[in-house]
Amino acid sequence: MSDFLDRPEREIEQLQQLAQRVLDRARQGGADQAEVSVSSSLAREAAVRLGEVDVLEEARDRGIRVTVFRSQCSGSASTGDLRPEIVDECVDRALAIARHTQADPSSGLADVSLMADQAVDLELWHPVDLEMSDLLARARAIEDAGRQADDRISNSEGASVSTEAAVSVYANSHGFFGSSRGTSYSQSCVLIAADEAGMQRDYDWDSRRRFTDLAEPALTGAGAASRTVRRLGARRVPTGKVPVLFTPEVARGLIGHLVGAVSGSSLYRRASFLLDAVGQQVLPEWVSLVERPRLIGGASSGWYDGDGVATRESALVADGQLLRYVLSNYSARRLGLQTTANAGGVRNLAVLGGGLDFDQLLAEMGTGLVVTEVMGQGVNLVTGDYSRGAAGFWVENGKLAWPAEEITIAGHLRDMLQGVVAAGTDIDTRRNIQTGSLLIEQMMVAGQS
Amino acid sequence: MMFELARGHLLQPAGLGEDDLERILARLCGPGVDLGEAYFQRRVRESWMLEDGSVRGGSWDVDQGVGLRAVAGTGTGFAYADSLHLPALMQAASSARAIARSGQSGRVQAGQAVQAKHRYAADDPTATGQASDRVELLRTVDAYTRSLDARVTQVTVNLSASFEAILVTASDGVLAGDVRPLVRLDIRVLMEDGTRREQGFAGGGGRFELAELMQPETWQEMAREAVRQGAVNLTAEDAPAGHMTVVLGPGWPGVLLHEAIGHGLEGDFNRKGISAFSNRIGEQVASTGCTIVDDGTLERRRGSLSIDDEGTPASCTTLIENGRLVGYMQDKLNARLMGVAPTGNGRRESFAHLPMPRMTNTYMLPGQHDPAEIIASVADGIYAVNFNGGQVDITSGKFVFAASEAYRIKNGKLGAAIKGATLIGNGPDVLTRVGMVGNDLKLDSGVGVCGKEGQSVPVGVGQPTLRVDGLTVGGTA
């Protein structure tokens, strides 16, 4: 256990040896090029419910994925079993598949000149060897605080605390060997409140790279309690067009749809409502999106992407205008463009331009709907049509009036993005897309007839 | 026979015997432990992808390992090993038993092989047939699909096959094995007409051999369906918004039952008292015409099982009978705590996940009405025949499912196609508003994936045509 935490370089060394074995075998098997990702992690989780132990889990996960290229034909294989003979079988299987796939002129490794040549310590590794009993005590403290915070809390789905330490290696036949290591500490609490109308459930959570940065247990417990009880008495709202305010967790999803629509794989499949949109106004003039993949201690920081290409700070949207797409080496080649070092997605994408706090946003909205949760998969990136279930709060005279549920919100993503009229300073930095609340001028809300 | 096969896949290559299983269980069963269990699994998956007219990718993936759990009261200690070798298993067993208190060790009953009826063949679809035939199939499907309509501009075809062997042994005497094939073909088209672009999709599969999916009549029907859907969507108008009558087509729209009713009737949520259906056994929760079952015993279906992941033989569990709530779906832990029998619904994504109550194939039995009569009975509403899947909040009971093909109904007649829209309702009362049940029960084509607490498992759904008198439709018009 603590061996992994104390000396991650030893684990990385083993993964590198395995990666080298894969690359050697692929070359001997006739591959022109090959790449390999290997990962290894150690996780512990303690969950309590109503003060009793619910689950104690210890997880040691490993995995390897191999891709080989031969005359522009590719084959891939993976396993969670890192014994050398199984890894060798994976290479052979990948080679066998590459004998059957068809030549793809876009396939193959990114150009050697694009490889990240300088390892950077992004300060993501902060190990603490916590005993299961430490995690359990913390989970109990969280749940206790939540259950005691309000008389209307009637039940609990429990609280949990987890730790994870992970190392990974990406290597390819250009001779590139990258490694990274990171820790992550998380806690969450899910509570139930009841009144004569029925039950409601909500949660609170936190996740940090340093254990000491985690929110106080009482804060997460009390947060879960207040989020849950404020939903009691929720009802449907009248059907009609109103302004809608997305809180940061929902706003992150909206920006995620924009990223999805300008991602290479959507574009070369023509499966996007934002084809040929570089240079176009996709957001209002006062909004910019900047990607900072090398942010020290960032939630999704990395110095190389999934192709081994060096990451760098780069604007995605400036003054509302789309400056570039989100491309891996493969999707870039399909489109006849250069990679943007986004194999694996965007990293620490920040939404800039917000200036109002949450109360000011409510005042700005006047009457409308705050959305704190969306449900279902009703997002069509091909057409931009958006229709989802929602829950949140009805707002009158710039103040939260009552909780709302069993309603839908609908619109077109292009209009929703261009219709952002204000952004909040309540920025959530815990995920790869970092945004505050977003106020959208108007959406169709359906509830009562 | 399944047990022998599973043993051949899992224990013999690792040199493990039944005495080793006993040793592992003995290590797991610390003081106060009610159940010690070892779950061995090996899964091989093969997949091929065609895009833009050529087979651009293929993958082969193998995972194996052993999940070890020790259950004491309501608590579970869990650890797993990605190796099938004894020292690693004993170490993981020690971690899992950390849940145990001090005192006397738990008792291990001698294992006896569970007998269960086989619901599917034991052949490995990943080891049957030639790769070149798979690649050729994808190219043939592509050419055929493109030939159906000049507006088809992109075709993506995915073919996959997996084969899983599981063996479970537990301190309550269970010793069981299963081998599970699963195959699937998906066809997705992009169609363009002027400035409009829309998608169409069709897919299917089940627990059988790839050769069946490779039959021309099977994939040609899927291709025609995908193109038909894309063509319909090219003409779709904005969907209406508001509360209205909704007629749901037969088959895949049964996702309604899965979300509105199914999850809320899983034993864990009810044991904890956090489901909108908790403590409601015996109550009328649906119209009298509604009888709903969860049936893992259907031959060769995607959601079917010979035994569940705890070794309990699959069964057909009646959830709602003539509108009355009569049963929950259970795994061993929740069944024991609620004082009922397990129902064969204990499932897990893999050895690295804990089992919990999950659905298999969930469907409503047919009623009396001709589907045409149901549509004719609606003055103003929508008819929804295809969906993208859904989601539910089991505590408040609110659920959504997103239509991907739907039509207006005006004065009993089908009108224009409308764009996809999310429908939202309240699980405990939506089925009380079922006004008519069709005589046309249909099961889905074999594409369902259910997610719960981060674990995915294959499932099936089905229903006859249904008229629901009041659901909120999330359109823009």
Q: Where are chain A's structural domains? A: 2-229, 234-449
Q: Is A415 or B99 the better-scoring residue by pLDDT? A: A415
Mean pLDDT of B358-386: 97
Kindly tell me if the per-residue pLDDT of A1 is higher than 60: no
pLDDT above 70: percentage of residues in chain B: 99
pTM: 0.96
Q: Which tens digit of pLDDT belongs to each residue from B24-70? A: 999 999 888 999 999 999 999 999 999 999 999 999 999 999 999 99
Residue B197 backbone dihedrals phi, psi, to 5 degrees: -130, 135
pLDDT above 90: percentage of residues in chain A: 97
Residue in B59, B276, B354 nearest the CB of A55: B354
DSSP assignments along B385-398, one per residue: EEEEEEEE-TTT-E
Give dist(CA A289, CA A164) in Å, integer: 30
pLDDT of residue B115: 84
In chain A, which among 48-67 make CB contacts under 8 A with chain B?
A: 49, 52-62
Kindly tell me if the per-residue pLDDT of A269 is higher than 80: yes
CB–CB contact A100 B134 (8 Å): yes
pLDDT of residue A93: 97
Q: What is the DSSP letter of A109?
A: P
Q: How far is A331 from chain B (nearest CA, A)?
A: 13
CB–CB contact B154 A81 (8 Å): no
Residue A181 backbone dihedrals phi, psi, to 5 degrees: -145, 145
* CB pairs < 8 Å spanning A and B: 256
Q: Which tens digit of pLDDT belongs to each residue from A235-245? A: 999 999 999 99
User: Cβ of A10 under 8 Å from any chain B Cβ?
Assistant: no
Q: Say which CATH architecture domain B2-234 belongs to.
A: 2-Layer Sandwich (3.30)
pLDDT of residue A341: 98
Q: What is the DSSP letter of B78?
A: E
Amino acid occupying residue A30: G
Q: Which tens digit of pLDDT belongs to each residue from B331-348? A: 999 999 999 999 999 999
Residue with tokens 């224990």: B11
Kindly tell me if the per-residue pLDDT of B103 is higher than 80: no
Q: Are B213 and B205 in contact (CB under 8 A)?
A: yes
Q: Which tens digit of pLDDT belongs to each residue from B174-196? A: 999 999 999 999 999 999 999 99
Tokens standing for residue B469: 């008198």
Give dist(CA A144, CA A228) in Å, integer: 15
In chain B, which among 441-470 make CB contacts under 8 A with chain A?
A: none
Question: What's the pLDDT band for B104 if we cut at 50, 70, 90?
Answer: low
Boundaries of CATH 3.30.2290.10 in chain B? 2-234
Contacts of A268 in chain B (CB under 8 A): 52
DSSP assignments along B94-134, one per residue: HHHGGG--SSSBPP-PPPEEPP----S----GGGSS-HHHH
pLDDT of residue B106: 67
Q: Which residues contact B207 (CB under 8 A, 6 or more apart)?
A: B119, B120, B121, B180, B181, B182, B183, B300, B301, B302, B304
pLDDT of residue A352: 97
Question: What's the pLDDT band for A438 if we cut at 50, 70, 90?
Answer: very high
Give dist(CA B462, CA B257) in Å, integer: 8
pLDDT of residue A448: 85
Q: At what angle do helices A84-98 and A8-28 cross, to 10 degrees?
A: 40
Tokens standing for residue B356: 């919990």
Which stretch of DSSP H or E encloses residue A258? helix A248-261
pLDDT of residue B31: 86
Composition of chain B by helix, strand, coil, percent to 5: 25, 40, 35
Question: What's the pLDDT band for B112 if we cut at 50, 70, 90?
Answer: confident
Q: What is the DSSP letter of B295?
A: E
Tokens standing for residue B349: 């994504």
User: Cβ of A448 under 8 Å from any chain B Cβ?
Assistant: yes
Kindly tell me if the per-residue pLDDT of B101 is higher than 80: no
Residue in A102, A383, A389 nearest the CB of B54: A102
Contacts of A132 in chain B (CB under 8 A): 98
User: Cβ of A407 under 8 Å from any chain B Cβ?
Assistant: yes
Count Cα atoms within 13 angstroms, Cβ side, for A139.
31
Question: What's the pLDDT band for B108 if we cut at 50, 70, 90?
Answer: confident
pLDDT of residue B113: 80
Strands of A196-287, DSSP E: 198-208, 240-246
pLDDT of residue A358: 98
- Confirm or reject CATH 3.30.2290.10 for domain A2-229, answering yes or no: yes
Q: Whole-number mean pLDDT of chain A? A: 97
ipTM, two decimals, is 0.95
Give dist(CA A66, CA A70) in Å, integer: 13
CB–CB contact A54 B73 (8 Å): no
In chain A, which among 324-353 make CB contacts under 8 A with chain B?
A: none
Question: What's the pLDDT band for B98 if we cut at 50, 70, 90?
Answer: confident
Q: Which tens digit of pLDDT belongs to each residue from A348-388? A: 999 999 999 999 999 999 999 999 999 999 999 999 999 99
Q: Which tens digit of pLDDT belongs to each residue from A6-55? A: 999 999 999 999 999 999 999 999 999 999 999 999 999 999 999 999 99
Q: Which tens digit of pLDDT belongs to each residue from A99-128? A: 999 999 999 999 999 999 999 999 999 999
Question: What's the pLDDT band for B102 if we cut at 50, 70, 90?
Answer: low
The 3-state DSSP class for residue A234 equals coil
Q: Which tens digit of pLDDT belongs to each residue from B18-30? A: 899 999 999 999 8
Q: Which of A54, A102, A190, A334 to mutate to test the interface with B (most CBs of B within 10 A)?
A: A102
Give the strands of the sheet with A314-318, arranged side by side: A321-322, A314-318, A288-291, A349-352, A433-434
Kindly tell me if the per-residue pLDDT of A153 is higher than 70: yes
Strands B398-410 and B413-418: antiparallel
Contacts of B75 in chain A (CB under 8 A): 52-56
pLDDT of residue B82: 87
